[in-house]
Amino acid sequence: MADVEKKARLSGEQPRAAEPAPSLLPTTNPATEKPAPPPSSLHPAFYVVTWISFSGGVILFNKWLLSTLGFGFPITLTAWHMVFATFMTQVLARTTTLLDGRKTVKMTGRVYLRAILPIGFFFSLSLICGNQAYLYLSVSFIQMLKATMPVAVLLTSWALGIAPPSLKTLGNVSFIVVGVVIASYGEIEFNLTGFLYQAGGISFEATRLVMVQRLLSSAEFKMDPLVSLYYFAPVCAIMNSLTAMVIEVPSMSMQNIYDVGMFILVANAMVAFLLNVSVVFLIGKTSSLVLTLCGILKDILLVAASIMIWGSPVTKTQYFGYTIALGGLLYYKLGADQLKQYVGQAGRSWSEFGVQRPALRKAVVFGLVLITLFTLLGGLAPTYAPNQTQNLKDILNTGLGS
């Protein structure tokens, strides 16, 4: 027993082999390690700028084509847009993956007749009325009127039984209505015909959006804007073409097309189509909040562009009313709690930006002040100094050689 205990004590006193020191670098098997997904090569701001450019570009392009160039056939123009969109969506469906989402849509002849055709009908009416309004109203006033779109959608959803009426929600959107009423009251170049066309366009578009919402409430009919265009464009092309043949084509001639130029018409249709493509990428790369804010920013930029390009007079009353409408629109889209949260986050980000890049922050502030002053002065100038404004436009036209 003594020998056994002695051996046990000796074995317990044997020094242990030194354990390897932990490696400072992670040891992974390169063969089993999954490669990291490649980062997006484009910043989300690129998609924002692209969408704003195409969305505003379509409106300005249409106004320039219908009013400045004198191509007074808005129904024919919308028909041409839809024919071009039908052709392009068919090409993309066969050559790219952008329209693969249509494969998950359970589209049948019954669904097409009961859902797609009525939606396409209201889509056609909204396009026709919207383009007709450009013949009578300025772009700035049209954008102010478009601020009532959420109100029209809300009232239509109540009328069609999609959502239950709510006095609280109605109170939230009342600021939009009040702001647009004030802006309309201050409009100098008010035209009742153009106002009614735009009101009709807003009503038809609201009906279309509510019907689309009801259609897409089922998971089997989820569609992105490009897939929706794939189904709706042929319907709108046929309806708008038939309408144009009855109303506009008898008074048209090939000389009207030659005066504008086929290149201009193709470019106009291409910009309208690329707008739908840019929406798909914007939704995929950003969020609904970004889309909402981009829409408001686009409207403000369009008002400024209308003032600078066509010298559209905008009164102080309109500025005041449009500011109320945009504030009400932002409040309705985000809500009080989210609005406070986003304002706080924006304030902190702005402070950090000022600490990291103070010179660039000062340059941004200076640029925004200049743009604001230029927009205000440019909008008020045709009202309070019409002669000087016309002289300046004549000088610019002479300098540009027109």
Residue 392 pLDDT exceeds 70: no
User: Average pLDDT for residues 116-139, to the nearest whole number?
Assistant: 90
| Domain extent listing, the chain | 44-334
More confident residue, 114 or 291: 114
Beta-carbon contacts of residue 172 (< 8 Å; ≥ 6 apart): 328, 331, 332
**pLDDT score recorded for residue 172:** 78
User: Average pLDDT for residues 320-329, to the nearest whole number?
Assistant: 85
Q: What is the dihedral of CA 270, 275, 280, 285, to 10 degrees?
A: 120
Contact 160, 89 (CB under 8 A): no
37-57 pLDDT, tens digit each: 455 567 777 888 888 899 899
% of the chain beyond a pLDDT of 70: 76
Q: Which two tokens stand for residue 45?
A: 């701001």
CA neighbor of 323 nearest in space, from 303, 352, 342, 348 = 303
More confident residue, 30 or 155: 155
**pLDDT score recorded for residue 41:** 64
Any idea which residue has 């669904």 for tokens?
111
Cβ-based burial of 376 (10 A; exposed 0-12, middle 13-18, buried ≥19): middle
User: Average pLDDT for residues 339-363, to the nearest whole number?
Assistant: 72
User: Average pLDDT for residues 117-145, to the nearest whole number?
Assistant: 90
**pLDDT score recorded for residue 23:** 42
Contact 50, 271 (CB under 8 A): no
Name, of 77-81, 276-280, 337-341, the range with top average pLDDT: 77-81
> What is d(CA 310, CA 62) in angstroms, rounded to the nearest whole number?
13
Count the residues in the chain: 402
3-state per-residue secondary structure call for the chain: CHHHHHHHHHHHCCCCCCCCCCCCCCCCCCCCCCCCCCCCCCCHHHHHHHHHHHHHHHHHHHHHHHHHCCCCCHHHHHHHHHHHHHHHHHHHHHHCCCCHHHHHCCCCHHHHHHHHHHHHHHHHHHHHHHHHHCCCCCHHHHHHHHCCHHHHHHHHHHHCCCCCCCHHHHHHHHHHHHHHHHHHHCCCCCCHHHHHHHHHHHHHHHHHHHHHHHHCCCHHHCCCHHHHHHHHHHHHHHHHHHHHHHHCHHHCCHHHHHHHCHHHHHHHHHHHHHHHHHHHHHHHHCCHHHHHHHHHHHHHHHHHHHHHHHCCCCCHHHHHHHHHHHHHHHHHHHCHHHHHHHHHHHHHHHHHHHHHCHHHHHHHHHHHHHHHHHHHHHHHHHHHCHHHHHHHHHHHHHHCCC
**pLDDT score recorded for residue 363:** 78
Phi, psi angles (nearest 5°) of residue 78? -65, -35
**pLDDT score recorded for residue 88:** 94
**pLDDT score recorded for residue 86:** 94
Contact 82, 89 (CB under 8 A): no
Residue 160 pLDDT exceeds 70: yes
